[in-house]
Amino acid sequence: MKVLITIEYNGKYFSGWQRQKKGVGVQEVLEDALSALLKENITLTASGRTDAGVHAICQYAHFSISSNFNLERLPYAVNTYLPEGVRVLSASVVDESFNARLSAHKKTYLYKIYTRKVLSPLREGYYANVPYDLNYDQMLKAAKLFLGKHNFKGFCSEGSSVKSFEREIYSFEIEKNLDEYYFKITGNGFLYNMVRRIVAAVVEVGKGKLSLKDITLALKEHNVKHITKNMPPCGLYLLNVEY
């Protein structure tokens, strides 16, 4: 039986999704907990990796089991084995052809910042602090430049072992609420640190340190001279995956 689970986790407790040589990954604690509960070795395949410090509101992963464990009970049962910072929200049977990573066709990420000049203890670890007065209208214009298919080689960090840097962005919204900004971006896939690089570039436009032309050139000609900043992981959330 192939099972799909929905997971929520706080990235500040983990070294990322994957099992790590140093530190603890979300995958490790989940596999250990599920193996202990189900009395068989469990290997998870997630919709994608998240880096150290990155949160997930809705991460998906699948695994196969030989038993007929009551899946309605599974989240409550396995959560008693899990440490602080991660919980299984739901579990369901999926077709044997389903793959949490390969079957995904849309992913949505959320990035949160606040612009207060004094650091907020209550937002530490969950928002990035950008202590500047930002030009919201210019940021909205910058966000529109990313829509559609582009070669995003200039908007990912080294270490992206992929065959193609082309990705498609379906929507990119920026919402402002007092001193907080929420960047919500949906695409067919994302490269290593791509979301954090894109948000950093848009924020630099808001500061007046990058122009719309700089963004256009980086997308069109892969001119990355000025696209060097990367937002910290604490403000990033995997919001949803669509299958």
**Residues designated catalytic:** 51
Cα separation, 228 vs 10, in Å, equals 27
Establish whether 127 is an annotated binding residue.
Answer: no
Handedness of CA 123, 128, 129, 135 (dihedral sign): negative
Cα separation, 10 vs 112, in Å, equals 14
Distances in Å between the Cα of 195 and the Cα atoms of 19, 82, 199, 200 are: 22, 29, 6, 8
Cα separation, 182 vs 112, in Å, equals 5
Cα separation, 45 vs 31, in Å, equals 10
Instruction: Name 128's Cβ contacts closer than 8 Å, sequence gap at least 6.
Output: 111, 112, 113, 114, 231, 232, 234, 235
What token pair was written down for 95? Answer: 């077709």
What token pair was written down for 118? Answer: 């004094």
Binding residues for substrate: 109
Binding residues: 109
